[in-house]
């Protein structure tokens, strides 16, 4: 390899029926409406959906939080700083607030009364969407309380008075707790009413994985152990624990990022082609492949102080609310195997961490180099393998790198890369993951939500790692500096497979010259 050339890749606009969602009138009840998720993600998502004309005409929100306040104050608190004034004037009157502590059993009857009052006021048949934007420790009592009060009733699929609940992640804290939560939820309502959310599944590139794999015939024949050397899935963040120390000290990186987001990415990369594009067919394949995954190598890390983007930042143990001897990992790298015919012997390397050198989420599929190379290489040079990268963040797109001949006499091999950027091909306006997922739930489409079997399969994969790490406290924490690429031991984990981690930001899409 003597250099890298970037080639632009053109996209033709996609033609075909727009899958317009038909959503009937509904009331969305947000439990935990005073929290970060509601203000930062849910309300902006509703505002954008309204702006795109996708919210049902008769849509209402009841925010439930512990802090007493008037509707007007709630609306003011929720107003996004960059909200379009005219649009906000349309959304604001639809927002109501009710103060209730879910630890007090009578609260649920009072919430039920409020929901019924909204329904009576508006008339007609309406759906109910309950969003649990609550700490995970409150999910069980919330579902139980809503069900017992009759406000979240068991309903048949197709009933226009549908009642659905979105449960945030993490769903449980282990296989046993997730199973218990599933049992409890299913004792009150049907599985078709439960929407376990993993916001990564609402991201455009992640959904594109399905189309890319199954709407093109050229990749499927090479999508297996004969052609793929390994897969690297990275979710690197520059952010630290922020204000979420209380949650993070209990969760750690494996529960926070691997049990859900990274294993979702793995399942879409490795699953078999479903026979139909129906929710249950897709969810069957995702659950099936997760059932074949096991971890056979793991490295943990915790960030110490360091420099990030030119600023000195504290280590995890210095963050507010974190124990000064905290054993909680903020980084993990796992080597996974998928024990089936297609993937036998192909390692899937997963890594995620906070306070890393760059923000980068990608799935990189690295192909084998040719078994025999007839071209002479310069002394010490190695042929770069072809790599197909699904770039999820910060830019959304794809890149494919391959080898070609440099112009001129003799044969000099060089790496070239074709980049495809969503932004460039389709302009802005991609939907935020929460917009996609809220709309899907209102439309009754659970495809991008996790079914109970997949959730439990994912816990089955990570439980042994979490249990071992909790049994054997780390002796070397902190073991990576904020602003670095992670602990050195992670490099060793991947080196054993004869490869290295991709550098953070390696697939940053390049805009071609005009």
List the one residue out of 403, 400, 417, 413 whose CA is nearest residue 365. Answer: 400
Q: Which stretch binds ligand NDP (CB under 6 A): 16-24, 130-138, 356-364, 487-495?
A: 130-138
Task: Figure out which of the listed residues 136, 202, 304, 353 binds ligand NDP, where binding follows CB under 6 A.
Answer: 136
435 binds ligand BG6 (CB under 6 A): no
> What is the DSSP code string of 160-176?
TT-EEEEEPSP--SSHH
For residue 229, indicate whether it is catalytic: no
- The conformational region for residue 493 under phi > 0 = left, psi -120 to 50 = alpha, else beta, is alpha
Kindly tell me which of 151 and 267 has the beta carbon lying closer to ligand BG6.
267
Pairwise CA distance, residues 478 & 419, whole Å: 37
> According to CB under 6 A, which one of 126, 169, 203, 286 is a site residue for ligand NDP?
169
Asked if 362 touches ligand BG6 (CB under 6 A), the answer is no
Residue with tokens 């890319």: 212
Structure tokens at 36: 């970060």
Beta bridge partners of 350: 233, 334
Residues in contact with ligand BG6, total (CB under 6 A)?
6
First-to-final CA distance of the chain: 27
Q: How many residues bind ligand NDP (CB under 6 A)?
A: 21
* Minimum distance, C-beta of residue 450 to ligand BG6, in the bound complex (Å): 13
Q: Which does 36 bind (CB under 5 to 8 A by kind): ligand NDP, ligand BG6, none?
A: ligand NDP
Q: Which of 119, 256, 284, 435 touches ligand BG6 by CB under 6 A?
A: 256
Q: Which residues are registered as beta bridge partners of 232?
A: 349, 364
Which segment (60-68, 209-217, 346-354, 446-454) binds ligand NDP by CB under 6 A? 60-68
- Cα–Cα dist 16/10, whole Å: 18
Please identify the residue of the shown chain whose CB is closest to the bound ligand BG6. Answer: 256
Residues 6+ apart with CB under 8 A from 306: 312, 313, 315, 355, 481, 482, 483, 484
Cβ closer to ligand BG6: 239 or 411? 239
Catalytic one of 15, 188, 261, 372:
261
Stretch that binds ligand NDP, among 33-41, 80-88, 315-323, 357-365 (CB under 6 A): 33-41
Answer yes or no whether residue 43 interacts with ligand NDP by CB under 6 A: no
CA distances from 109 to 129, 153, 224, 424 (A): 17, 13, 54, 51
SS3 154: coil
From residue 366 to residue 385, the character string flagging contacts with ligand BG6 as x (rule: CB under 6 A) and all else as - is: --------------------
In the complex, residue closest to ligand NDP by CB = 35
The separation between CA 492 and the C-alpha centre of its own chain, rounded to angstroms, equals: 27
Strand segments, DSSP code E, in 318-359 are 331-338, 348-353
237 is a site residue for ligand BG6 (CB under 6 A): yes
Q: How far is the CB of 240 from ligand NDP (least distance, A)?
A: 14
| Helix/strand/coil percent split, the chain, to 5 | 35, 20, 40
Task: Kindly tell me which of 31 and 332 has the beta carbon lying closer to ligand NDP.
Answer: 31
Q: Residues, the chain, total?
A: 514
What's the min distance (Å) between Cβ of 96 and ligand NDP?
A: 16
Q: Given the complex with ligand BG6, which of 237 and 463 has the nearer CB atom?
A: 237
Cα–Cα distance list, 377 to 52, 83, 383 (Å): 55, 57, 8
CB of 169 to ligand NDP, least distance (A): 5
Q: Which residues bind ligand NDP (CB under 6 A)?
A: 32, 34-37, 40-41, 65-67, 101-103, 133-136, 138, 168-169, 199
Which spans of this chain sit near ligand BG6 (rule: CB under 6 A)?
169, 237, 239, 256, 361, 393
């Amino acid at each position: 390899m003597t250099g890298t050339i970037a080639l632009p890749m053109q996209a033709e606009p996609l033609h075909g029926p727009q899958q317009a969602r038909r959503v009937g009138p509904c009331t969305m009840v947000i439990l935990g409406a005073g929290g970060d998720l509601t203000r930062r993600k849910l309300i902006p998502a509703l505002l954008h959906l309204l702006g795109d004309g996708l919210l049902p005409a008769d849509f209402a929100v009841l925010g439930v939080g512990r802090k007493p306040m008037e509707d007007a104050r709630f609306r003011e608190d929720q107003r996004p700083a960059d909200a379009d004034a005219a649009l906000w004037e349309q959304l604001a009157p639809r927002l109501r607030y009710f103060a209730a502590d879910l630890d007090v059993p009578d609260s649920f009857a009072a919430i039920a009364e409020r929901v019924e009052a909204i329904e009576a006021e508006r008339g007609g048949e309406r759906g109910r969407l309950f969003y649990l934007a609550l700490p995970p420790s409150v999910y069980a009592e919330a579902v139980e309380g809503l069900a017992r009060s009759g406000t979240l009733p068991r309903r048949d699929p197709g009933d226009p008075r549908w009642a659905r609940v979105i449960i945030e992640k993490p769903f449980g804290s282990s296989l046993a707790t997730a199973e218990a939560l599933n049992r409890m939820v299913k004792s009150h309502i049907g599985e078709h009413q439960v929407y376990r959310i993993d916001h990564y599944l609402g991201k455009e590139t992640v959904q594109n994985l399905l189309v890319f794999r199954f709407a093109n015939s050229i990749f499927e024949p090479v999508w297996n152990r004969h052609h793929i050397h390994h897969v690297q899935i990275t979710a690197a963040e520059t952010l630290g624990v922020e204000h979420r120390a209380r949650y993070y000290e209990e969760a750690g990186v494996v529960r926070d990022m691997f049990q859900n987001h990274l294993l979702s990415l793995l399942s879409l990369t490795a699953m078999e082609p479903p026979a139909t594009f129906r929710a249950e067919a897709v969810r069957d394949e995702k659950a099936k492949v997760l059932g074949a995954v096991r971890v056979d190598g793991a490295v943990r890390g915790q960030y110490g102080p360091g420099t990030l983007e030119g600023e000195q930042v504290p280590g995890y143990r210095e963050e507010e609310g974190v124990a000064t001897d905290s054993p909680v990992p903020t980084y993990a790298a796992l080597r996974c195997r998928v024990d089936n015919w297609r993937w036998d012997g192909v390692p899937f390397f997963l890594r995620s961490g906070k306070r890393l050198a760059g923000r980068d989420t990608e799935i990189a599929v690295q192909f084998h180099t040719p078994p025999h190379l007839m071209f002479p290489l310069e002394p010490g040079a190695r042929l770069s393998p072809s790599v197909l990268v699904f770039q999820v963040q910060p830019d959304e797109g794809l890149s494919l790198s391959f080898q070609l001949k440099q112009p001129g006499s003799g044969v000099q091999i060089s790496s070239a890369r074709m980049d495809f950027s969503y932004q460039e091909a389709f302009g802005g306006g991609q939907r935020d993951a929460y917009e996609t997922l809220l709309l899907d739930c209102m439309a009754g489409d659970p495809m991008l939500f996790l079914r109970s079997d997949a959730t439990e399969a994912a816990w089955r994969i990570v439980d042994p790692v979490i249990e071992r790490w909790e049994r054997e406290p780390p002796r070397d924490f902190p073991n990576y500096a904020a602003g670095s690429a992670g602990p050195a031991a992670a490099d060793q984990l991947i080196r054993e497979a004869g490869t290295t981690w991709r550098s953070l930001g390696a697939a940053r899409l390049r805009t071609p010259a005009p």
